């Protein structure tokens, strides 16, 4: 038996626009699930590749943990960004500051969520910033 402490289950949140992803990390064999689906079967390949970025930066650490993510709201692109942030936060906490620094150097939104949201629509306009054209004469 080794002296290494095994961390218990931990929970982390990632956000993008209205999408909220909740990641649970626990010791395991490297299985990653999003809404009970395996990562490779979850969505379009380019979004899956974007979600895999923190996994590639983390390296072999991923093979010793299982990550389960639940994501709700917004569109699939925002959901993928929220999932990516939640997974990166979970791995950074599991490994330590060295990996967190690597994530920030690669892409700051892996650790710090992008909180930009759509501007609300205003009454009397066709779009949030559009207004009726005015005649000068």
Residues 6 or more apart whose CB falls under 8 angstroms from that of 5 comprise: none
Give backbone dihedrals phi and psi of 111, rounded to 5 degrees, phi first: -105, -45
| pLDDT tens digits for range 60-86 | 888 989 999 999 988 999 999 999 999
d(CA 65, CA 95): 11
CATH 3.20.20.70 fits 19-108, yes or no: no
Number of H helices, E strands in the chain: 3, 5
CA 79 vs CA 9, 21, 117, 137: distances in Å: 23, 7, 13, 49
Extents of the domains making up the chain: 19-108
Which pLDDT band holds residue 130 (cuts at 50, 70, 90)?
Answer: confident
pTM: predicted TM-score of the whole model, two decimal places: 0.83
Q: State residue 1's pLDDT score.
A: 46
| pLDDT tens digits for range 3-50 | 555 567 888 899 999 999 999 999 989 899 999 999 999 989 999 999
């Amino acid at each position: 038996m080794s002296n290494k402490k095994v961390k218990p289950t931990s929970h982390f949140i990632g956000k993008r626009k209205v999408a909220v992803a909740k990641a649970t990390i626990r010791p395991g064999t490297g299985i990653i699930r999003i809404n009970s689906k395996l990562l490779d079967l979850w969505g379009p390949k380019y979004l899956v590749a974007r979600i895999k970025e923190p996994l590639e930066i983390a390296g072999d650490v991923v093979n010793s943990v299982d990550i389960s993510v639940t994501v709700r709201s917004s569109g699939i692109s925002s959901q993928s960004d929220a999932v990516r942030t939640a997974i990166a936060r979970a791995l950074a906490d599991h490994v330590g500051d060295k990996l967190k620094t690597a994530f920030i150097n690669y892409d700051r939104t892996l650790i710090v969520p992008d909180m930009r949201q759509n501007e609300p629509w205003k009454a009397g306009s066709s779009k949030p910033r559009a207004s009726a054209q005015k005649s000068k004469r």
